[in-house]
Structure 1
Amino acid sequence: MLKNIFDIFVQPYPQRERTNTQALIHSLGEGVFLYLFFVLFEPFDISEWNDPNKYFKLLGFSFVTSASTYFHRQILPSIFPKFHEEKNWVIWKEIVGVLFLLLIITTGNVAYGSAIFKWGFTLSNWLTFFSWVVGIGIFPTVFWVLSDYIYQLKKYSQPIVIQEIKDNQADEKLKLIAENEKDYIELKNKDLLYIESADNYSTIYFLKAEKTEKLLLRSSLTRLESQIEDKNIVRTHRSFIANLDHVIKVSGNAQGYKLHLNHTDMLVPVARKFSFLIEKLR
Structure 2
Amino acid sequence: MLSIFNQKYTAPIPELKSVAKAILFGLFIGLFLIFFEPFDINLSTNENKNYQLLFFGCITTVVLLVFLYVFPLLFPKIFSDIHWKVKHQIILYLIALFVIATLNGFYTNYINHLSFNWSNYWWIINKTFVLGGIPFAFLTLLDYRQKVNLNIAVANNLSNAQKERVTKPSYGTYNILTDLKSKTFCLKENDFSYAMAVGNYIDVFVSIDNTLKRVTYRVSLSSFETQLKEAQKLVRCHRSYFVNLKKVESISGNAQGLKLKLENQSEIVPVSRKYIPIVKQFFQENQ
SS at match of 1:190: coil
SS at match of 1:226: helix
State whether residues 39 and 55 of structure 1, in contact with CA within 8 Å, keep that contact through their aligned partners in structure 2: yes
Taking the TM superposition and a 5 Å limit, the aligned residue runs for 1:218-229 are 218-228=218-228, 229=230
Match of 1:214 in 2: 214
- In structure 1, C-alpha distance between the alignment counterparts of 2:118 and 2:65, rounded to whole Å: 25
SS at match of 1:212: strand
Gaps of 5+ in 2: none
SS at match of 2:82: helix
- In structure 1, C-alpha distance between the alignment counterparts of 2:118 and 2:219, rounded to whole Å: 49
With structure 1 as the length reference, what TM-score do the two structures score? 0.86
CA separation of 1:123 and 1:79: change in aligned 2, threshold 3 A:
farther
With structure 2 as the length reference, what TM-score do the two structures score? 0.85
Match of 1:280 in 2: 282
Q: Percent identity?
A: 28
Match of 2:202 in 1: 202
Are residues 1:101 and 2:93 paired?
A: no
Taking the TM superposition and a 5 Å limit, the aligned residue runs for 1:28-177 are 28-46=23-41, 50-78=45-73, 80-158=75-153, 159=156, 160-161=159-160, 162-163=162-163, 166-170=167-171, 172-177=172-177
Structure 1 position 248, deviation (Å): 0.7
Match of 1:231 in 2: 232
SS at match of 1:85: coil
- In structure 1, C-alpha distance between the alignment counterparts of 2:218 and 2:112, rounded to whole Å: 53
Structure 1 position 258, deviation (Å): 0.4
Gaps of 5+ in 1: none
- The letter of the residue matching 1:51 is N
- The letter of the residue matching 2:89 is E
- In structure 2, C-alpha distance between the alignment counterparts of 1:13 and 1:249, rounded to whole Å: 21
CA separation of 1:85 and 1:48: change in aligned 2, threshold 3 A:
closer
SS at match of 1:166: coil
Match of 1:249 in 2: 250
Match of 2:10 in 1: 14
CA separation of 1:144 and 1:29: change in aligned 2, threshold 3 A:
closer
SS at match of 1:219: coil
Equivalenced residue count is 276
- In structure 1, C-alpha distance between the alignment counterparts of 2:216 and 2:81, rounded to whole Å: 22
CA separation of 1:244 and 1:199: change in aligned 2, threshold 3 A:
same
State whether residues 236 and 269 of structure 1, in contact with CA within 8 Å, keep that contact through their aligned partners in structure 2: yes
Match of 2:193 in 1: 193
SS at match of 1:270: strand
Structure 1 position 119, deviation (Å): 3.6
CA separation of 1:189 and 1:34: change in aligned 2, threshold 3 A:
same
* Post-superposition CA distance 1:92-137 (Å, at most 9, x none): 1121111111112112222233333334334322221111111112
Q: What is the alpha-carbon root mean square deviation over aligned residues?
A: 2.5
Of 60-69 and 21-30, deviating more is 21-30
State whether residues 194 and 204 of structure 2, in contact with CA within 8 Å, keep that contact through their aligned partners in structure 1: yes
State whether residues 43 and 49 of structure 2, in contact with CA within 8 Å, keep that contact through their aligned partners in structure 1: no
SS at match of 2:196: strand
- In structure 2, C-alpha distance between the alignment counterparts of 1:192 and 1:149, rounded to whole Å: 33
State whether residues 103 and 130 of structure 1, in contact with CA within 8 Å, keep that contact through their aligned partners in structure 2: yes
* Post-superposition CA distance 1:42-94 (Å, at most 9, x none): 33224875332333333432322111001111233355544432122222112
